[in-house]
Structures are given as C-alpha cells and as structure tokens.
Amino acid sequence: MNRIIWTVLGVVIATGLFRLCAFIVDQKHYAIVFELGHISRVIDKPGLNFKLPPPFQNVEYLDKRILTIDPQSDDRVQTAEKKNLLIDSFVKWRIVDAHSFWVSFHGAEHDAEDRITTLVRDALNQAVNKRTVNDITSRERDKAMEEIRVAVQARVKDFGVDIVDVRLKRVDFIPEASESVFHRMESERKQVANKQRSDGAADAEKIRADADRQREVLLAEAYRDAQRIKGEGDARASAIYAQAFGANPEFYAFYRSLDAYRQSFRSRSDTLMIDPSSEFFKYFKAQGGAAAGR
C-alpha cells in the first residue's frame, strides 16, 4: 500500500516538475527565458523547451507576427502651401529582436505602439510640410509614404522593431477650407485643360501648314515632271515627223497645209478673210489648174 502511495506521489511530483520546467513555443511567438529577473536566452523557433522551475527561471512571450497601428484620430498637417489637411494613416510593424524590444519597452506592446505613433506623426509632418496638396494627393504620395517609413525605421531600429509599411488611408481638407480649395483646384485644372487645348490647336495648325506645303511641293514636282515628259514627247514627235517627211519635203508641206485647212475650217460659224493669191491657198490653186488642164 505504501509503495502505491509513493508511486502515485512520485508521478504527481514528476508531472508537476515537468509542467514547471517544460514549455512550448509556437511559430507565432518569441519566448524569453528570465533567470532571477534577467534575460537568460531568447527562443525564436517553435518546439518543446525546458527551463528551471520558478522562481529560478520563468518565461515571457512576445508576438512575432506583423502588427497594425491604426490611430482613431486623424492628424492635422500643414502643406508647403500652408493648407491644412486631415490625414488618416496606419502602420504595419513587427518585433525582429525580442531581446532589444524587451529591454526598450519591458515587453509592453502598447508602449511600443505609442512610441511608433509619435515618430510617425513627426515624420508625417516633415514629409507633408515640404509638399503641395497635389503632391500628397497624387504623384508623390507613394514617395512620401516610403520617406516616412524610412525615417521612422531609422529611429526604432535599436528597439528591435521593423517598420514594414506606412500608408495614408485618407487625405481630406478641413471642412472650413474644403470649398475654397476645391474651387482653386478646379480653376487650376481648367487652366491646364485650356493650355492643352491651345497647344493642341497650335500643333494642328502646324501640321496642316506642313501638309499644305508638302502638297504644293508635290504638285510643283508633278507639274515639272509632266512638262518634262511632254517636252520629251514633243521632241520625239518632231523627230519622227522630220524622219518620216524628210525624204519628201513637198509631201510634208502638203500634209501640213491640209492640217492647217482642217484646223481653220473646223467651225462653220467662223469667217476667214484671206487673199486668194496668198500662199495659204497654194495647193487649192494647184489642184484647180490641174483640173482645168484636164
């Protein structure tokens, strides 16, 4: 009976010691083992681990996942144009060095969040103060967010913290300034649109003038080529005529006279007053004499 009691007692004591000395670290946490109030070691890999029972050693855990800081209130920031903006932002961060983090904040995540929030607010002011409203709301927004992240990271690297990302969720004008700013932005956009339309009209006129100039050049070149070809054709025709009629000049003169007669008497309404004894009627007279002789 006594043996059973001692066996049960031994099992209970062993179980108690195992529970006091063994601990499990999962993949979502760091485990920090303290020995008499001082950090003994940091465990960042999941698995079963052992330590001395309290009060010699105890364990604290830190979250190793990416955490989010999303302030409930917007930050009021002034731009380079002295315009006040309300900016809603959030921060993604995580613990990368559990030892440094514990030394800096004694494991209190809310203290770390307060410190990071303050640093982000300072960096946000610096980034926005040197930019215009248009920069923050459009073309340089991403650049400004990265600038804020880098600035905050440089301030918290000794705390065992990594700033993963800083995002500007919403950028608004304060209510009393919104209407005037919107009117000003609308006017600026109209000026830009009018300038672009004016530039487009000028470019179109330039293109039309260039096209007209090219058309005139092409027409002049075409006319020149046509005249050249016509001249070459006339020259070849004259050469052919000369070659064909060179052997019989009298027949050539007769042919040319017939052509002149045809051109002269083409219209019945025309009246010609010519001396019958002129050279123009040379072949008429010759034909008339030949007929009388016959």
Structure tokens belonging to residue 199: 């530039």
Per-residue pLDDT, 289 = 45
CA distance 151 to 130: 15
Per-residue pLDDT, 177 = 58
Q: Which residue ranges of the chain lie beneath pLDDT 50?
A: 288-294
Of 190, 89, 79, the closest CA to residue 136 belongs to 79
Task: Name all domains of the chain by residue range, CATH numbers in brackets.
Answer: 2-63 (no CATH), 67-173 (3.30.479.30), 249-293 (no CATH)
Per-residue HEC secondary structure of 119-135 comes to HHHHHHHHHHHCCCHHH
CA distance 195 to 201: 10
Per-residue pLDDT, 257 = 72
CA distance 1 to 290: 178
Per-residue pLDDT, 288 = 46
* pLDDT, tens digit, 9 for 90 and up, residues 29-63: 999 999 988 999 999 999 999 988 888 999 999 99
* pLDDT, tens digit, 9 for 90 and up, residues 92-109: 999 999 999 999 999 899
**What phi, psi does 23 have (nearest 5°)?**
-150, 155
- Is the separation of the CB atoms in 119 and 164 below 8 Å? no
Q: CA-based diameter of the chain, in Å?
A: 182
Structure tokens belonging to residue 228: 């050249």
Helix axis angle for 109-129 and 141-156, nearest 10°, is 140
- Is the separation of the CB atoms in 133 and 150 below 8 Å? no
CA distance 32 to 40: 8
Say what the pTM is. Answer: 0.57
